[in-house]
């Protein structure tokens, strides 16, 4: 039996981001500074050469915007304006003032990008933080999960993420109906909760009080602490999130490499369930 403990990967792209972010103001203002110096010392220099600093800064800004899970259409479209202003030949040539204003705009857009659209790459590549710790914890504490069961958990998680609740419920029911899977454990409860969710989405849902819930003993294996609210709907929502996150963690920790990679591509959904994004 394979027990997979997730290792923290180094993220060279994140490091590249740290280098690229300062490059936006440096290149754009640098180009403007070169044009200004050339004018001060009467050096004959075509303004389009220093303007390439602004074009390059726009491309970098667009790249940084594309990396984020929420796309900033304004930042992504800056290279188009850079090409129109500085590359496409026109009757009025770009001046130093335009370079300075453009550099200032790019810097403001970079700040806006970081503040409003978050920093770092999309969740697909990120594997650290509470969810990573949870997967590691499940890998250590649930040491007796066969890889077939983990693959089932992964399949159920993937079907659920696709909104195919009926198929997810079917897979969970198939697992629960097998005799060898009888017993009272957290994963079986998670499967039972997911199996019950499909009916919950129908036009005549079952009363929430009749649905499955994790027991007190199982709560140590859950991501979210059990809801202390008396609101049964809230309690059920937390239980469903926990059930799905348990399936995700079990699949990542115990499934075969191929299945694990498939489930890993649904990391952003797991982050959403974990309320991390």
Q: Site residues (CB under 8 A) for other proteins?
A: 69-71, 73, 161-163, 165, 200-201, 205, 233-234, 237, 241, 266, 268-269, 272-273, 275
Closest CB 239 distance from other proteins, rounded Å = 13
Residue 94 CB, nearest approach to other proteins (Å): 29
Residue number, 48 or 272, with CB nearest to other proteins: 272
Cα angle for residues 41, 43, 45 (degrees, 5° grid): 135
Considering the complex, what minimum distance in angstroms separates the CB of residue 162 from other proteins? Answer: 5
Neighbours of 114 (CB within 10 A): 14
Q: Which is nearer to other proteins, 30 or 166 (CB)?
A: 166
The helix, strand and coil proportions of the chain, stated in percent and rounded to the nearest 5, come to 70, 0, 30
Tokens of 153: 């958990």
For the beta carbon of residue 167, count every other beta carbon within 10 angstroms.
16
Report, in Å, the least distance between residue 235 CB and other proteins.
Answer: 12
- Residue in this structure with the two tokens 């180009």, named with its chain if needed: 31
Q: Supply the minimum distance, in Å, between the C-beta of residue 273 and other proteins.
A: 7
Nearest CB to other proteins, comparing residues 9 and 163: 163
Q: Which of 187, 255, 179, 258 is nearest to 1 (CA)?
A: 255
Nearest C-alpha neighbor of 157 from the set 95, 248, 85, 69: 248
**φ/ψ of residue 132, rounded to 5:** -60, -45
Q: Which is nearer to other proteins, 20 or 167 (CB)?
A: 167
Least separation in angstroms between residue 83's CB and other proteins is 20
The Cα–Cα gap between 267 and 71 comes to 18
Residue number with CB closer to other proteins (103 or 168): 168
Nearer to other proteins, 48 or 277 (CB): 277
**Degrees (nearest 5) of the Cα angle 132, 7, 71?**
55
Looking at the Cβ atoms of 148 and 233, the one nearer to other proteins is 233
| Sequence-separated contacts (24+) of 201-204 with Cβ below 8 Å | 201/165
Q: What is the DSSP letter of 178?
A: S
CB of 124 to other proteins, least distance (A): 10
């Amino acid at each position: 039996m394979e027990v997979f403990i997730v290792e923290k990967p180094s993220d060279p792209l994140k490091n590249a981001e740290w280098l690229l972010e300062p490059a936006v103001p440096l290149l754009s203002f640098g180009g403007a500074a070169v044009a200004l110096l050339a004018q001060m010392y009467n050096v004959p220099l075509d303004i389009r050469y220093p303007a390439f600093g602004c074009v390059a800064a726009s491309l970098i800004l667009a790249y940084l915007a594309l990396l984020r899970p929420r796309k900033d259409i304004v930042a992504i479209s800056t290279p188009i304006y850079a090409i129109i202003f500085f590359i496409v030949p026109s009757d009025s040539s770009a001046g130093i003032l335009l370079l300075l204003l453009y550099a200032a705009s790019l810097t403001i857009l970079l700040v806006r990008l970081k503040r409003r659209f978050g920093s770092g790459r999309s969740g697909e590549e990120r594997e650290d933080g509470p969810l990573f710790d949870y997967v590691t914890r499940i890998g250590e504490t649930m040491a007796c999960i066969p890889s077939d069961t983990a693959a089932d958990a992964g399949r159920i998680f993937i079907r659920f993420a696709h909104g195919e609740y009926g198929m997810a419920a079917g897979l969970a029911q198939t697992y629960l109906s097998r005799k060898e899977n009888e017993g009272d454990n957290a994963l079986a409860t998670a499967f039972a909760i997911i199996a019950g969710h499909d009916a919950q989405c129908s036009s005549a849902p079952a009363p929430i009080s009749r649905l499955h819930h994790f027991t007190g003993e199982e709560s140590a294996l859950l991501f979210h602490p059990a809801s202390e609210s008396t609101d049964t709907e809230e309690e059920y929502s937390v239980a469903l999130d926990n059930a799905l996150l348990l399936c995700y963690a079990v699949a990542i920790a115990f499934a075969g490499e191929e299945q694990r990679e498939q489930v890993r591509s649904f990391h952003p959904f797991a982050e959403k369930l974990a309320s991390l994004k």
